[in-house]
Amino acid sequence: MRVTVRKLGAIGVAALYGLWSVVAAHGYAFNEIVPDVRQPVSVSGGSACPVHAHQLTGAGSLSFRWSTVLGSNPTTILTQNQTPTGSLNEIEQTVQQSLSVWTNVSGTTLTPASLAPLTRISSANVCSVDGINSICFDQPDMAFTPGVLAFTRVVTADTIGIQVGSGPVSTELGQILDADIYFNPSDSLTSFATPQALSANPGSYDLESILTHELGHTLGFSHSAVWSAMMFPFAPAPGTFAGQRPTTQQPDAPLADDDRTGLRVLYHDPNDTLYVGSIQGHIIPANPISLPSAPPGVTGVFGAHVVAIDASSGAVIAGTLGGWSCTAPGPVQFDGNYEIDQLPVGQSYKIYAEPLDGAVAPSDVSNALVSLCRNSTTDPGWPPLQGCVVPPANTTFTTRTRPSP
């Protein structure tokens, strides 16, 4: 198994498609994991094609607990109700609302019924590799380097039959076995406020926005290069919040279309008939010798941000990190391929590609890029025919728009 760490401000993943099919760089940026083909086919599938990290979505399958141990000097979480019981209830309401944002996106199998009852735990240091999804507000960790507000540590199965602590045994490749969210507990300059307390504490970060972002990582998301997306790697400024507050009429309101499309790819509802559109293509250089120095077999632009825009409204509907495809038994081919799935049908789209040379850099989405390959250097005994090396993301290409016929 592999552990991936994601930090708000610089992070990145993949759903289980047929093991014996062609896997492309599907819409959005997900944490990817390559199955351990050194193991028997019965537990690895026999294919070195990456799969998306994902949670199971059966009734009550997604469980979270949160630690009621809160920093008090300085105060980590600011609430409107400052009584001990009222403060905890207000924080829990924020946690519940943040979870609800992700489970109320139409066209997915992730529904409110997927959530087990949220539980509290009064112990400190409950975020650990124990098979239990936890949220911690007062637990130090080496990952809290300067500027990190929160991060999520995820353990993903690269074979069937793995168990972490007392958690479930993996039944699918790419299954997330443990996901823990850590909030910065000890920075005297950093505090978080519930939605009710944010206006009175304009120097604090919005707890709901940060938690909703981190929950995206627990579901398998990397970062998005779409600035309006909840999974954009940078937090909203203190005193502000991302998107719109969720409402009874629109519980997923904080999410952008890019987030929703990504969730539909990760947790596609086979009964959905609206979000079934797909756009696929290749990004290749006009002059092949212009490709940067890279391992053999790189025939297209790798790491480009490809975006689908609604032609009528100009709204960004989805983006993906393109540049690869994979046919079982693998490995990945860096052929410039991209695919954006689960798009609303009956609409026209414009497509553009851009390098990751702006606010979002390749390092911000590394979990979606560098984890596409394994080889005998990284994993002793890896079969040579199923090994590959990920090239650096191409951040120097330029594009030219041509009128359609």
Q: What is the pLDDT along the chain (405 residues), one digit of tens a residue?
A: 233 223 333 222 222 222 233 344 455 789 999 999 999 999 999 999 999 999 999 999 999 999 999 998 889 999 999 999 999 999 999 999 999 999 999 999 999 999 999 999 999 999 999 999 999 999 999 999 888 999 999 999 999 999 999 999 999 999 999 999 999 998 888 999 999 999 999 999 999 999 999 999 999 999 999 999 999 999 999 999 999 999 999 999 999 999 999 999 999 999 999 999 999 998 988 776 666 555 567 889 999 999 999 999 999 999 999 999 999 999 999 999 999 999 999 999 999 999 999 999 999 999 899 999 999 999 999 999 999 999 999 998 887 655 554
Backbone angles phi, psi at 33, to 5 degrees: -140, 135
Looking at residue 296, its pLDDT comes to: 66
Backbone angles phi, psi at 101, to 5 degrees: -55, -45
Tell me how crowded residue 238 is: count the other CB atoms within 10 A of its CB.
Answer: 17
Tell me how crowded residue 190 is: count the other CB atoms within 10 A of its CB.
Answer: 20
Looking at residue 11, its pLDDT comes to: 27
Task: Name beta bridge partners: 65.
Answer: 119, 134
Distance CA 392, CA 302 (A): 8
**Residue pointed to by tokens 């850590």:** 182
Distance CA 352, CA 304 (A): 10
Looking at residue 7, its pLDDT comes to: 32
Closest of 59, 53, 77, 226 to residue 152, by C-alpha: 53
Give Cβ neighbours of residue 18 (< 8 Å, ≥ 6 apart).
Answer: none
What's this model's pTM, rounded to 2 decimal places? Answer: 0.91
**Residue pointed to by tokens 């509290």:** 120
Tell me how crowded residue 274 is: count the other CB atoms within 10 A of its CB.
Answer: 14
Looking at residue 66, its pLDDT comes to: 98
Looking at residue 285, its pLDDT comes to: 81
Give Cβ neighbours of residue 88 (< 8 Å, ≥ 6 apart).
Answer: 68, 120
What is the edge-to-edge ordering of all strands in the sheet holding 349-354?
A: 316-322, 304-310, 349-354
Residue 60, burial from CB neighbour count under 10 angstroms (0-12, 13-18, 19+): exposed
Looking at residue 295, its pLDDT comes to: 59
Looking at residue 397, its pLDDT comes to: 86
Helix axes 84-103, 207-218, angle to 10 degrees: 50
Contact status, residue 306 vs residue 283, Cβ threshold 8 Å = yes
Q: How far is CA 223 from CA 97, 165, 182, in A?
A: 21, 28, 17
Tell me how crowded residue 153 is: count the other CB atoms within 10 A of its CB.
Answer: 22
